[in-house]
């Protein structure tokens, strides 16, 4: 267990939002799946600090999406290259970037069963910048080898794959994905956490620099942006989250 | 097309049918599902287009399901679908796991009367490993090797869903839930419950026509106010989260589930109206 | 999305572009086409989705077209398209003949970002003989030999059409002409002229949203009353048969065609309004 | 040139409509393309005398179709087996049932160029009962071999082809298509015309019985039906035709 030496001026959620927002720089169209308040907030923050052409699609929100052609539209957009960044997660994520959304044990009669693979087996291949995000960094989630590959981190050469993982952000640290080597590279450890803790909680091998930076704290102006302009916007798709983190409720329509 | 009650609608679906159903957000025929359960349908092959939740969980718990094909079975913010998870662990249902766009594409192939549709992705996944019906070919349009997955068309025996509106001619208006149109086009028969039936021709209504499924695709319509309850109907009513919480609690155990099934399931507003 | 005039709209289409256009009945951007001709665009590759008429004939006659891909070029009850026929006989344009469902399927493949779409039919036809880009494979889903044609996806540089309505956010309402949606999804850029722009959000309009193309697909919109004239706009105005007869007569000869092109082409109602 | 010996109690159009209507018996869903007044009228007649479940789709009409999903819907329906009968024609039709809608001469720089193949290269293969109809029976239209095959009359075994030509109806006579032999078989010659005339005007070989029947005249009750109930209905999609044949104009809406 770690203890923060002094109280930071930001919450854990705000830190993660700012870490992810940095990974979204330069993306024209960021799409966010359901039930993803931290990536969704990051996308909105990225849009707020980016050129006016940057677009955010939050699935199933009223105001933050302009999909109107049924379930296929998002996937068709991804296949056409109309989506620059997306977020995926996994019940298990392994050191090759494989994600498992199906369950633990031997398929099909698994000992733990999750919902299923959703759109991952297309989006992970076709969206250029997929950010893996998992708020629980333990040996249960960060495994050496997933029990079931919903979608692989890397594909053989010769397989059409314009997309794939760019980074893995957890509650402990941020990894960059090395596409050539098919491995994660530790980029930074969040304030209050240690390399020892990361090693302890990670079931896969990863690369790391000799000195590991502490994750950059949220930029003050971005924190202000989040707490003022953006919190109400975030409350539209994620009311419970905005209420918990910023004590704000959605604007009346 | 004929207008009928929910029991008669449910009676049209024989045991062993392949039934396409929409996502929890786009108009699930929940009350018709209770009628199906009451008539003790068996061995259904459910095709979620492309995910499902409460509806599938109830049908699985009630022993109506042999196979479920989906990209995700979930109660969304209410968590895992308890009867689905229990059935997978017990090995009592056959699960065909896939990914959302594969299911949609396969239904679109059914709609188009073509034997398959190609899709990017899936290669190297265990989804593909376990789907013996999917094929991999070298893209014939590419100059060099370019493997691509082909998905066999899905032609459901039935599409079953709930929509806001039908007209007296049997045309059904679906709003933005476009895949309901695709499902109706693809399926051999389409059974629909609706909030209300209006005395006009939706196909002659310039505004509603583009989102109207023409009557020839529709085998039967039942009127059922709040027919998607406790799931939502877009632009009409939200999910009844209290009821969903009750279900999650009940579904944790076999006996809790049976108790839940045996209760009357009516939307609160209709119960009130009935009492008043 | 930006609102612009017809000349600016036309200026966005460089020489040599591949441009998808709808059938004569579903909203042809005729006034924008005159702007294209005025700017002397050259070497267009027109993709009729799936047939065309007056628009293509004018562009061919004006020397703007290198290739036309279609399942039919016709002035419907007004007969053959005279400049198209003359150009074919003279060998001055490249014609890619095909069949309606092949064009639609290829555009749908473009929409879905897949490299090809299979289609039944075509085998043993001379259409197939002359289409080197079509491929025949053995259907991998069949147990024995079952040849089937694969059509390469069409991703047009532009979709160009006329629609009844846009909103101030750049969303465009198309009514029942569903293939306009498909074209806009498939094309890299979509340019639209509309009868009017309204100050609302079509995507938040429960009735209009299902037939609305969202703004991100739309590169530019021009307001142009009677923009499809003399062709019809569904539910708005019929074809101007007198004008079409005038065109048929003029189009019979090179000089007649040039005279026709050089005249002012305005819908009679607008000319009257301008004079009054 | 032939001369009718006595004035028949029906018009040429009425005869053809009744001939085609007989070919449509037992079809659940008859679809009719654009600009096809005689086949369209035959379809409406077939519906009027058939069980109430029989359906007619007339493309681009307001009241006689319930297609509302763009150009693809008709073809998708055909591919699914949802259409039982359709009508095709040809600038040239040959003795194997091949149809040519593209032109005369060597493709692509043809000496005569027509509009194009439209939906024929799908519909001819997939609609079980395709009726070929051509109002001009001459050696120009009925040829030994078409210059361009828009769609073939017959396909090799092994090719998926649930549909194809059932009959060829012209202003002179009616042929049945022999699927096995891939040839036309003369069924009857219309009143007022002769075998000599048919042979004279036909560029292809065909089979014929020893005695060739005269085409059955329109059934009186069907004539009445056409002239009373149906004429106004036909005037909806085909106003000029109904005006010419029955002096009737479309009902006001």
Return phi, psi of residue C4, to 5°.
-150, 170
Q: Give the sign of the dihedral formed by CA D149, CA D150, CA D153, CA D158.
A: positive
D100 assigned to some structural domain: no
d(CA C120, CA D79) in angstroms, rounded, equals 7
Our CA-based measurement puts residue B274 at a distance from the nearest CA of chain A, in whole angstroms, of 32
Beta bridge partners of residue C95, listed in sequence order: C68
Chain C residues with CB inside 8 Å of B208's CB?
207
Those chains having 3 or more beta-carbon pairs within 8 angstroms of chain D are B, C
> Is the Cβ–Cβ distance between C168 and C194 less than 8 Å?
no
Helix axes C54-61, C254-262, angle to 10 degrees: 100
pLDDT in tens, B222-250: 999 999 999 999 989 999 999 999 999 99
pLDDT in tens, C58-103: 999 999 999 999 999 999 989 999 999 999 999 999 999 999 999 9
Is there an interface between A and D (3+ Cβ pairs < 8 A)? Answer: no
What is the 3 state secondary structure string of chain C?
CEECCHHHHHHCCCCCCEEEEECCCCCCCHHHHHHHHHCCCCCEEEEEECCECHHHHHHHHCCCEEEEEECCEECHHHCECHHHHHHHHHCCCEEEECCHHHHHHHHHHHHHCCCEEEECCCCCCHHHHHCCCCEEEECCCCCCCCEEEEEECCCCCEEEEEEEEEECCCCEECCCCHHHHHHHHHCCEEEEEEEEEECCCHHHCCCCHHHEECHHHCCEEEECCCCCCCCCECCCECCCHHHHHHHHHHHCCHHHHHHHHHCCCCCHHHHHHHHC
Token representation of residue D70: 């763009």
Our CA-based measurement puts residue D80 at a distance from the nearest CA of chain B, in whole angstroms, of 5
Flag whether residue B208 sits within 8 Å of chain C, measured between CB atoms.
yes
d(CA A52, CA A67) in angstroms, rounded, equals 19
Give CA separation, A149 vs A106, B90, B151, B239, D5, in Å.
12, 22, 19, 33, 83
Look at residue B271 in the predicted model and tell me its pLDDT: 54
Q: Which of residues 116-175 of B touch A (CB under 8 A)?
A: 119-128, 130, 139, 144-148
Taking residues A126-133, what's their average pLDDT?
98
Of A71, A113, A152, the CB nearest to B50: A71
Task: Indicate yes or no: CB of C114 within 8 angstroms of CB of B118.
Answer: yes
The DSSP code for B78 is G
Task: Indicate yes or no: CB of C125 within 8 angstroms of CB of D150.
Answer: yes
The answer to whether residue A1 scores a pLDDT higher than 80 is: no
What H or E segment, with its residue span, contains residue B245? helix B241-251
Angle at D149 between CA D145 and CA D150, to 5 degrees: 140
Task: Indicate yes or no: CB of C214 within 8 angstroms of CB of A66.
Answer: yes
d(CA C201, CA C271) in angstroms, rounded, equals 32
Look at residue A189 in the predicted model and tell me its pLDDT: 98
Q: How confident is the model at residue A248 (pLDDT cuts 50, 70, 90)?
A: confident
Token representation of residue C14: 């460089």
Measured between CA atoms, the residue of chain A closest to residue C208 is: A68
Q: How confident is the model at residue D15 (pLDDT cuts 50, 70, 90)?
A: very high
Task: Indicate yes or no: CB of C139 within 8 angstroms of CB of B148.
Answer: no
The CATH superfamily label for domain B6-98+155-256 reads: Glutaconate Coenzyme A-transferase (3.40.1080.10)
The answer to whether residue C271 scores a pLDDT higher than 80 is: no
Task: Indicate yes or no: CB of B216 within 8 angstroms of CB of D80.
Answer: no
Flag whether residue D59 sits within 8 Å of chain B, measured between CB atoms.
no
Task: Indicate yes or no: CB of D81 within 8 angstroms of CB of B113.
Answer: yes
Measured between CA atoms, the residue of chain C closest to residue D163 is: C121
Of A71, A101, A160, the CB nearest to B120: A160
> Is the Cβ–Cβ distance between C153 and B186 less than 8 Å?
no
Flag whether residue A81 sits within 8 Å of chain C, measured between CB atoms.
yes
Q: How confident is the model at residue A2 (pLDDT cuts 50, 70, 90)?
A: very low
Peptide bond into C50 cis (omega under 30): yes
The answer to whether residue D5 scores a pLDDT higher than 70 is: no
**Those residues with Cβ within 8 angstroms of residue A253's Cβ, 6 or more apart along the chain or in another chain:** none
Look at residue A53 in the predicted model and tell me its pLDDT: 83
The answer to whether residue D4 scores a pLDDT higher than 60 is: no
pLDDT in tens, A173-230: 999 999 999 999 999 999 999 999 999 999 999 999 999 999 999 999 999 999 999 9
The answer to whether residue C269 scores a pLDDT higher than 80 is: no
Task: Indicate yes or no: CB of B203 within 8 angstroms of CB of D81.
Answer: no
CA A134 to chain centre: 7
> Is the Cβ–Cβ distance between B23 and B50 less than 8 Å?
yes
Complex prediction ipTM: 0.96
**Nearest-CA neighbor of C183 among C117, C109, C115?**
C109
Task: Render chain D in DSSP notation, one character per residue.
Answer: ----SS--SS-HHHHHHHHHHHHTTT-SEEEE-TT-HHHHHHHHHHHHTS-TT-EEEETT-SSS----S-THHHHHHHHHT---EEEE--SEEETT--EE-SEESSSSS-SEE-S--TTHHHHHHH-SEEEEEES--STTTEESS-SS-SB-S---TTS--S--EEEEEESSEEEEEETTTTEEEEEEE-TT--HHHHHHH--S--B--SSPPBPPPPPHHHHHHIIIIIHHHHTTT-HHHHHHHH---PPP-
**Residue ranges covered by each domain of chain B:** 6-98+155-256, 117-152
pLDDT in tens, C218-261: 999 999 999 999 999 998 999 999 999 999 999 999 999 999 99
Of D66, D82, D126, the CB nearest to B215: D66
> Is the Cβ–Cβ distance between A101 and A93 less than 8 Å?
no
Minimum mean pLDDT among A28-32, B83-87, C76-80, D10-14: which range?
C76-80
Angle at B237 between CA B231 and CA B243, to 5 degrees: 40
Flag whether residue D122 sits within 8 Å of chain B, measured between CB atoms.
no
Angle at C121 between CA C119 and CA C127, to 5 degrees: 100
Give CA separation, A70 vs B26, B56, B182, B237, C184, in Å.
9, 20, 9, 19, 16
Look at residue A99 in the predicted model and tell me its pLDDT: 98
Q: How confident is the model at residue D1 (pLDDT cuts 50, 70, 90)?
A: very low
Helix or strand or coil: residue B128?
A: helix
Look at residue D3 in the predicted model and tell me its pLDDT: 46
Task: Indicate yes or no: CB of B100 within 8 angstroms of CB of A122.
Answer: yes
Look at residue C273 in the predicted model and tell me its pLDDT: 46
Return phi, psi of residue C197, to 5°.
-115, 130
**Nearest-CA neighbor of A72 among A127, A122, A132, A29?**
A122
Measured between CA atoms, the residue of chain B closest to residue C117 is: B117
Task: Indicate yes or no: CB of C214 within 8 angstroms of CB of A126.
Answer: no
Measured between CA atoms, the residue of chain B closest to residue D75 is: B112
Average pLDDT score over chain C: 95
Look at residue B2 in the predicted model and tell me its pLDDT: 66
Token representation of residue B140: 């014939």
Angle at A33 between CA A31 and CA A39, to 5 degrees: 75
**Those residues with Cβ within 8 angstroms of residue C108's Cβ, 6 or more apart along the chain or in another chain:** C117, C182, C186, D72
> Is the Cβ–Cβ distance between C180 and C26 less than 8 Å?
yes
Chain B residues with CB inside 8 Å of D69's CB?
181, 185
Domain harbouring A196, CATH code? 3.40.1080.10
Residue D42 belongs to domain spanning: 12-89+117-136+150-246
Q: Give the sign of the dihedral formed by CA D205, CA D206, CA D209, CA D212.
A: negative
d(CA B201, CA B211) in angstroms, rounded, equals 13
Return phi, psi of residue D184, to 5°.
-90, 150
The answer to whether residue C272 scores a pLDDT higher than 60 is: no
Residues of chain B scoring pLDDT < 50? 273-276
Residue with tokens 């893996």: A132
Helix or strand or coil: residue A83?
A: coil
Return phi, psi of residue C153, to 5°.
-60, 145
Task: Indicate yes or no: CB of D76 within 8 angstroms of CB of B209.
Answer: no
Buried b (16+ CB within 10 A) or exposed e, C33-42: bbbbbeeebe
Chain C residues with CB inside 8 Å of D150's CB?
99, 125-127
Flag whether residue D68 sits within 8 Å of chain B, measured between CB atoms.
yes
Our CA-based measurement puts residue C229 at a distance from the nearest CA of chain A, in whole angstroms, of 29
Percent of chain A with pLDDT over 90: 87
pLDDT in tens, C117-174: 999 999 999 999 999 999 999 999 999 899 999 999 999 999 999 999 999 999 999 9
Look at residue C275 in the predicted model and tell me its pLDDT: 41
Q: Which of residues 217-246 of C touch D (CB under 8 A)?
A: none
**Nearest-CA neighbor of C31 among C51, C50, C58, C1?**
C58
Our CA-based measurement puts residue D63 at a distance from the nearest CA of chain B, in whole angstroms, of 9
Look at residue A4 in the predicted model and tell me its pLDDT: 46
Those chains having 3 or more beta-carbon pairs within 8 angstroms of chain C are A, B, D
More confident residue, A252 or C78: C78
A57 assigned to some structural domain: yes
d(CA C72, CA C74) in angstroms, rounded, equals 6
Taking residues A6-27, what's their average pLDDT?
93
Residue B9 burial (CB count, 10 A): 25
Flag whether residue B72 sits within 8 Å of chain A, measured between CB atoms.
yes
Flag whether residue C190 sits within 8 Å of chain D, measured between CB atoms.
no
Chain D residues with CB inside 8 Å of C119's CB?
122
Give CA separation, B97 vs A35, B110, C229, D74, D230, in Å.
21, 19, 52, 32, 54
Q: From the candidates A29, A71, A80, A162, which should be mutated to test the interface with C, based on the most C CB atoms within 10 A?
A: A80
**Nearest-CA neighbor of B20 among B111, B93, B94?**
B111
D143 assigned to some structural domain: no
Question: How many domains is chain D built from?
Answer: 1
Those chains having 3 or more beta-carbon pairs within 8 angstroms of chain B are A, C, D
Task: Indicate yes or no: CB of C203 within 8 angstroms of CB of A72.
Answer: no
Helix axes C100-112, A72-80, angle to 10 degrees: 80
d(CA B6, CA B29) in angstroms, rounded, equals 10
């Amino acid at each position: 267990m770690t203890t923060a030496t002094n109280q930071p001026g930001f919450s854990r959620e705000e830190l993660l939002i700012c870490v992810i927002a940095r990974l979204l720089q330069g993306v024209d169209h960021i799409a966010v799946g359901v039930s993803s308040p931290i990536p969704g907030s990051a996308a909105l923050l990225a849009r707020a600090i980016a050129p006016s052409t940057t677009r955010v699609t939050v699935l199933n929100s009223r105001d933050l999406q302009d999909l109107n052609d049924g379930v296929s539209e998002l996937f068709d957009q991804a296949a056409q290259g109309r989506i620059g960044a997306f977020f995926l997660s996994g019940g298990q994520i392994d050191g090759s970037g494989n994600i498992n959304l199906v369950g633990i044990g031997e398929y099909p009669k698994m000992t733990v069963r999750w919902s299923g693979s959703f759109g991952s087996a297309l989006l992970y291949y076709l969206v250029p910048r997929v950010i893996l995000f998992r708020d629980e960094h333990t040996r249960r989630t960060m495994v050496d080898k997933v029990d079931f590959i919903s979608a692989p981190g890397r594909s053989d050469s010769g397989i059409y794959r314009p997309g794939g993982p760019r980074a893995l952000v957890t509650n402990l640290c941020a990894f960059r994905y090395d596409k050539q080597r098919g491995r994660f590279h530790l980029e930074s450890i969040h304030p209050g956490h240690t390399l020892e803790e990361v090693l302890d909680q990670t079931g896969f091998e990863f690369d790391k620099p000799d000195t590991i930076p502490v994750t950059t704290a949220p930029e003050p102006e971005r924190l202000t942006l989040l707490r003022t302009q953006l919190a109400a916007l975030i409350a539209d798709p994620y009311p419970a989250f905005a209420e918990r983190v910023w004590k704000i409720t959605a604007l009346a329509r | 097309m004929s207008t009928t009650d929910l029991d008669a609608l449910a009676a049209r679906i024989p045991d062993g049918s392949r039934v396409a159903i929409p996502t929890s957000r786009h108009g699930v025929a929940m009350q018709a599902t209770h009628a199906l359960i009451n008539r003790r349908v068996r061995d259904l092959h459910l095709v979620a287009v492309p995910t499902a939740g409460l509806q599938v969980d109830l049908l699985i718990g009630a022993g109506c399901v042999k196979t479920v094909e989906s990209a995700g079975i979930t109660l969304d913010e209410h968590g895992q679908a308890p009867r689905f998870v229990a059935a997978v662990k017990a090995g009592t249902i056959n699960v065909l796991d896939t990914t959302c766009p594969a299911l949609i594409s396969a239904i679109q192939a059914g709609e188009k009367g073509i034997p398959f549709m190609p899709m990017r992705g899936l290669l190297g996944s265990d989804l593909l490993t376990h789907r013996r019906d999917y094929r991999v070919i070298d893209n014939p349009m590419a100059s060099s090797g370019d493997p691509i997955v082909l998905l066999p068309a899905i032609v459901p025996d039935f599409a079953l869903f709930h929509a806001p509106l039908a007209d007296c001619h049997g045309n059904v208006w679906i709003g933005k839930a476009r895949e309901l149109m695709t499902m109706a086009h693809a399926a051999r028969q389409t059974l629909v419950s609706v909030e209300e039936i209006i005395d006009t021709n939706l196909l002659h209504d310039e505004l509603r026509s583009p989102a109207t499924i023409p009557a020839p695709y529709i085998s039967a319509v039942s009127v059922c106010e709040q027919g998607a309850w406790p799931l939502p109907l877009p632009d009409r009513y939200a999910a009844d989260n209290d009821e969903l919480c009750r279900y999650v609690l009940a579904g944790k155990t076999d006996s809790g589930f049976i108790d839940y099934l045996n209760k009357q399931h009516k939307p609160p507003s209709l119960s009130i109206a009935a009492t008043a």
